[in-house]
Structure 1
Amino acid sequence: MEKALVLKDITKRFPLVLANDRISLDLYWGEVLALVGENGAGKSTLMKIVYGLQPPDRGEMWVDGRPYRPKSPMDAIRAGIGMVHQHFMLVEPFTVLENLVLGLEPGSPLHLDLDAARRKAQALMDRLGFQVPLDERVENLPVGVQQRVEILKALYREARILILDEPTAVLTPQEAEELFRFLRAYVAQGNAAIFISHKLKEVLEVSDRITVIRDGRVVGTVPKEGTTLEALARMMVGREVVLRVEKAPARPGETVLEVEGLAAPPRLKGVSFRVRAGEIVGVAGVEGNGQTELVEALAGLRPHQGVVRFLGQPLPPSARKVRALGVSHIPEDRLARGLVLDFSVKENAILGDQQERPFRGFLGFLDDGAMEAHARRLVESFDVRPRSTALSARRFSGGNQQKIVVGRELLRGPKLLIAAQPTRGVDVGAIEFIHRALVEARDRGLAVLLVSADLNEILALSDRILVMYEGRVVGEVAPEEATEARLGLLMAGVTP
C-alpha cells in the first residue's frame, strides 16, 4: 500500500509543556487509522499541525510522497486534507449549499454560480451514499445531519485525507453506524482517514490500525485484529484500567427530586419524573432535545414553568439558593460554567460556596488556610495531577479539570447531584475514576440525575433510564431491558 501521509519527528513545545515529542506515523491510502490517547497526550496539537493551524518546531511531513509544509488550513485543503471538528464549523443561518461553497464561491464576483455547486454536491452525495437537504438552513438540521454537512464540506473541497475529531459525540448509535459505513466506503474508494475518539469500542469497530499517544510520544501502533479494549486502555494510560463499572443493585430511599410538567424555552416542553436517594437516574438523548434546559432549570439557572420539589419543598428559582439547599451541579461545559480558568485550584475548589463556612472567615474575608486544606483534600481524594493547589485551572488537562469540578461538587456533601455530561471529552483513566466516584456517592445515599449523550455511560451507571426527544420524555427503560438499539430508536423519536 502507498502512503497517504507521513509524519517524521514532529515536535511541538509550549511553555512548560512538550506537547509532541518526535512523533512519527504513517497513514496509508485505503485505511482508517485511529488516533487515541489520554487528554493532554498531544493528539489535538498533532492534528492542528497537520491541518496547518499550528507550525511544528521541528519535523517533516509528506502527502502522497510530496513534501508538505502547511502555513494555513487553506494549504491543507489544497493538499487534499479535510478536517471535521468536534464542534462544527458551520454558519447556522446559511443553507447547506451556502456553507459548502463558503470561501470557494463558484462563478465570478458578479455572479455566484450555485447551480454548478449544486451539481457537484449532488454528485458527491450520490457517490458516497448519503443525502443532506442542500436548501435547508443549517440551524434547522439535527446534529447528525449537521455532521454530514461538515463531512460533505470537506469532500466538496476534494479532500482525499479526512481527519475526524470525536465524530460520534453527538450521534445516536444508528447515526454512528451510518458514519462508519460512510468511512468504510470512503477509504474503499482509495482515500484515507484519521479517526480520533475516546470511545475504544468504536475505535476497534471502524479502524484498520490504531496509533496510541501518551505524554506526547507514540507508544505503539497496533492492528485492529487481535487487539482488545483492555490492551488499548493499558497502552493509553500505562496501567491496568477497569472498563466495566462494578456496582451493587441500588437501594433507593425517599424521593429527593420530584418534577411535574417542567418546561423551559426554547426546547423543554414538559417533563415529569422523580429521583430517589441512593439511585442514579440516567437521561439519554441526542443533544439539543431539551437536556440543557432541563439541567439549567433544575440548577436555578433558567426560568421555567411547572412544579419542582426538593425533599417535598418547592425549589427556589435561584442558583445560589438551590445550591445552599444541598444541590450540586456538574455543568455540561466545564470551561464555560464549571471553572474560572485563570483561578487556581484552591480558588476553583470553593466556587459557589465562597460565602459559606469555613471559607468565609473574619469580617467576611476568605480564610486562606481553610481554602488550602479543602483544595488539598480535593486533589488527593480525586487524584488530580499535578498535585498542585496553586496552578491555574487552564494548566491542567481536560480530564484533570473535570476531576476538579466533580470533586468540588461531591465534597460539598450534597443530597442531590445533577451531573450533565460528566465525562465529556475526558480520557479512559479519568472516566474510570469519575464513574467510580458517582457509584460510591450513590451507595452513600446520594440522589443522582445523570444527563449524558454517551449511551455506554448511561447503560453502565443508571438504575433507571429516561429517554428525551424533542423536549419530552418519550420512554423509561429498566437497565436490564435496555440495549443500544432500543435506546437509539427512542432517541430518534421512534416509540413502540
Structure 2
Amino acid sequence: MGSDEVGKVPILEMKGITKRFPGVVANDHVDLELYCGEVLALLGENGAGKSSLMNVLAGLYRPDEGEIYIRGKRVDIESPRDAMDLGIGMVHQNFMLVDTMTVAENIILGLKSVAAIPDMRSVHRKIHEISEHYSMKVDPAAYIWQLSVGEQQRVEILKQIYRGATILILDEPTAVLTPQESDELNCVLQQMTGEGRSAIFITHKMEEVIDFSDWVRVLQKGRLVTVKRTSETNPQELARLMVGREVLFRIEKKHYSPGEVVLELRDIRADGEKGLPALTGINLEVRAGEIMGIAGVAGNGQRELTEVITGLHSSTGGKVFLEGRDMTGRSPFAMIQAGVSHIPSDRIAMGVVGDMSVANNLAMKGYRKPPLLKGGFLNPKRILLMARKMIDLFKISTPAPQTHVKFLSGGNIQKTILAREIDACGGLLVAAYPSRGLDVGATEAVRNEIVAQRDKGKGVLMVSEDLEELLSVADKIAVLFEGQIMGIVSSEEADTETLGLMMAGVPLSKVEEEAAKLAAATCEQE
C-alpha cells in the first residue's frame, strides 16, 4: 500500500512537527504519513533529525510545534506509555534493556496489565509462541547480559509485539546484525505487514531501503526534502539526496605491501561472560600496512578477541605479542602506551563519557602529554583548539565542542570515537564495527580513513559483520566460528559464498566440497 491511495485514512500522520534543542533545530515542520501494511524508510545524514522525529512519536520528546494523528484522530503523546497505549513501539538504536534481568522480565517490565506477582510460566509460554511465530528464537529465562547484540535486538522486537504494537519504529535495526540476521529481520517485517502492522525504519544502508521498504522519506538538516516510492528510486539516487553529492560505493586502495608483524596471537584462549570457552586456540598475525578483517556471526568470539588484544579481557591461555614484545595479560593503559587504539563495539558503554563534552571526550587519549598537558596541568584552550580541528576533519555534527557528547546522534558519537582513536593510534588500530550507524557519506569517509592508516604503515584489525565492507576494505579476512578461525583468505580471492560457509562452521579446506554439495542439492530441487 502507499500514501497515494485516495480515500484511505493513514494509520499515522505527523503534521508540521518541530523539535528544538539548545543551539539546534532537530526537526523543522516535518510531515509524515504511514498506511496500514506499509514499511516506510526514513533516511538522512547523521544529525538530520531522524531519531528526534521518531522519539517524538514514541513519547520520549514533546514537540515544540505540530500535531499527530492516529487513524484520523488527533492524539497527545506525552510519554512512552501513551505511545504504547496507542500501539506505537520503538526499538532504539541503543537498546532499552536491563542487563541484570531476564528476557521475560524485560518484556513485561512496566506493563500495567501484569499482576504484582506475575505468572512467569504464562509469560514464558506467550514469548515462546511469539518467537516461534516470527522465527525469532530467544530463551525467555536468559539474562540480557548473556545475549549477543543481535539476540538483544530480537528481545526488543519481541517486547514491542508482546505489548501489542501495530506501528513498529526501528532505529538502525540492522546496524548490529549479520547479513543473515538482516534477511531474517526482513522476513519478520514482511510477515508483520502482511498481518496488518506497519513499520518505520531508520537506516543508512541503501540496499536495505530497496529490499525492505515501500516508501522513502529523506531528511536534511531537520527538514523533509524528498518523498519517493521505493520502486522508483535506486541506492545511488538516495545517497545523493541524503548527502547532497555523489557517493562512491567503492574504496580506492594502494598496492598491498605488508611490513613487519605488529600483532601476533599464539594459541589464545579465553572464556566468555557465561564462563564457557569463547576463544579456543587463536593463531593470528597482523602486519604493518595491513588490514586484517574478522568476519563471523555475532557471538562467536569477536568481542573477546578484541578485548584480549586491548587488555580489557583476561586470556586463559596463549600469548599476545606487540611488535615482538610479550604483552600477555597487560592492562588497558599498558596497551594504550604501547600504541594500541580501540574502537569498541559498544560505543555508549565503552567508547565515550556521555556527561563530558565532545572536546573532553576527544582529549581522553592525549591529555597525559603535551600540547594538552603543560606544567602538570591541562590546558583548556589547547583542548578546545584540538577539538575544533578534529570536529572539522571528521565532520562531527555538534552545536559546539563544549556540548555534552550524550546529546549527539549515534553516528556523531561514533565519529567522535573514531577521531580520538585514529588520532592517537601508534602501531595498531583495533576497530570493531567502525562504520556501524554511520550514513553513507560518513561510512565512505571512515573506510577511506582506515585505509589511510594502513597506507601510513599501521596495522589494522577490523571486525565487521558487513561482508561487503570487509571485501572492499580488508586485505585479508579471517572467519571466526565458535571461537576458532575457520580460515584466512585474501579479500581479492574471497567471495560471499566462501565467507558465508566458513561463518556457518565449514573450514576453508572443506569449502569447495561443501559448495559442490549445496549446488547439487539446489539442482535436485529445481
Name the SS for the 1:242 alignment partner.
coil
Pick closer, same or farther for the CA change 1:165–1:358 going to 2, 3 Å: closer
C-alpha displacement of 1:8: 0.4
Pick closer, same or farther for the CA change 1:225–1:284 going to 2, 3 Å: same
Aligned to 2:295: 284
User: Are the counterparts in 2 of residues 42 and 213 from structure 1 also a CA contact under 8 Å?
Assistant: yes
C-alpha displacement of 1:30: 1.7
Q: Deviations over 1:104-132 (max 9, x none)?
A: 486865773844x5675566556x45253
Give me the whole-angstrom Cα distance separating, in 1, the residues matched to 2:110 and 2:258.
56
C-alpha displacement of 1:26: 0.5
- Residue of 298, 307, 314 corresponding to 1:303: 314
C-alpha displacement of 1:348: 3.8
Letter in 1 for 2:440: V
1:353 aligns with 2:366: yes
Aligned to 1:378: 390
Aligned to 2:142: 137
Name the SS for the 1:48 alignment partner.
helix
- Residue of 332, 335, 352 corresponding to 2:345: 332
C-alpha displacement of 1:406: 2.7
Q: TM-score, normalised by structure 2?
A: 0.84
Superposed counterparts of 1:111-150, under 5 Å: 112=119, 114-115=121-122, 124=130, 128-130=133-135, 132=137, 136-139=141-144, 143-150=149-156
User: Are the counterparts in 1 of residues 372 and 379 from structure 2 also a CA contact under 8 Å?
Assistant: yes
Give me the whole-angstrom Cα distance separating, in 2, the residues matched to 1:114 and 1:258.
49
Letter in 1 for 2:183: E
C-alpha displacement of 1:341: 4.4
Aligned to 2:31: 24
Give me the whole-angstrom Cα distance separating, in 2, the residues matched to 1:71 and 1:372.
38
Q: Deviations over 1:246-267 (max 9, x none)?
A: 2234111111111112233423
1:273 aligns with 2:278: no
C-alpha displacement of 1:202: 1.0
Letter in 1 for 2:135: F
Pick closer, same or farther for the CA change 1:243–1:14 going to 2, 3 Å: same
User: Are the counterparts in 2 of residues 169 and 453 from structure 1 also a CA contact under 8 Å?
Assistant: no
- Residue of 73, 81, 94 corresponding to 1:74: 81
C-alpha displacement of 1:193: 0.9
Name the SS for the 2:16 alignment partner.
strand
C-alpha displacement of 1:315: 2.2
Q: TM-score, normalised by structure 1?
A: 0.88
**Quick check: 295-304 or 376-385, which moved more?**
376-385
Q: Deviations over 1:53-85 (max 9, x none)?
A: 222112111112222212222222222222223
Superposed counterparts of 1:449-460, under 5 Å: 449-460=461-472
Aligned to 2:524: none
Give me the whole-angstrom Cα distance separating, in 2, the residues matched to 1:162 and 1:315.
47
Give me the whole-angstrom Cα distance separating, in 2, the residues matched to 1:184 and 1:261.
44
Letter in 2 for 1:430: A
Superposed counterparts of 1:130-209, under 5 Å: 130=135, 132=137, 136-139=141-144, 143-209=149-215
**Quick check: 333-342 or 471-480, which moved more?**
333-342
Give me the whole-angstrom Cα distance separating, in 2, the residues matched to 1:138 and 1:77.
24
Superposed counterparts of 1:404-483, under 5 Å: 404-412=416-424, 414-483=426-495
**Quick check: 130-139 or 1-10, which moved more?**
130-139
Aligned to 2:519: none
Give me the whole-angstrom Cα distance separating, in 2, the residues matched to 1:167 and 1:110.
33
1:241 aligns with 2:254: no
Name the SS for the 2:443 alignment partner.
helix
1:14 aligns with 2:27: no
Name the SS for the 1:225 alignment partner.
helix
User: Are the counterparts in 1 of residues 138 and 154 from structure 2 also a CA contact under 8 Å?
Assistant: no
**Quick check: 83-92 or 23-32, which moved more?**
83-92
C-alpha displacement of 1:408: 3.2
**Any stretches of 5+ residues in structure 1 without a counterpart?**
none
- Residue of 243, 258, 264 corresponding to 2:270: 264
Q: Percent identity?
A: 46
Aligned to 2:517: none
1:229 aligns with 2:235: yes
User: Are the counterparts in 2 of residues 210 and 223 from structure 1 also a CA contact under 8 Å?
Assistant: yes
C-alpha displacement of 1:427: 1.9
C-alpha displacement of 1:190: 2.4
Give me the whole-angstrom Cα distance separating, in 1, the residues matched to 2:101 and 2:358.
41
Pick closer, same or farther for the CA change 1:236–1:26 going to 2, 3 Å: same
What is the total number of aligned residue pairs between the two structures? 493
Give me the whole-angstrom Cα distance separating, in 2, the residues matched to 1:110 and 1:276.
58
User: Are the counterparts in 2 of residues 263 and 306 from structure 1 also a CA contact under 8 Å?
Assistant: yes
Q: Quote the RMSD (CA, aligned, Å).
A: 3.0
1:250 aligns with 2:262: no
C-alpha displacement of 1:464: 0.7
User: Are the counterparts in 2 of residues 173 and 484 from structure 1 also a CA contact under 8 Å?
Assistant: no
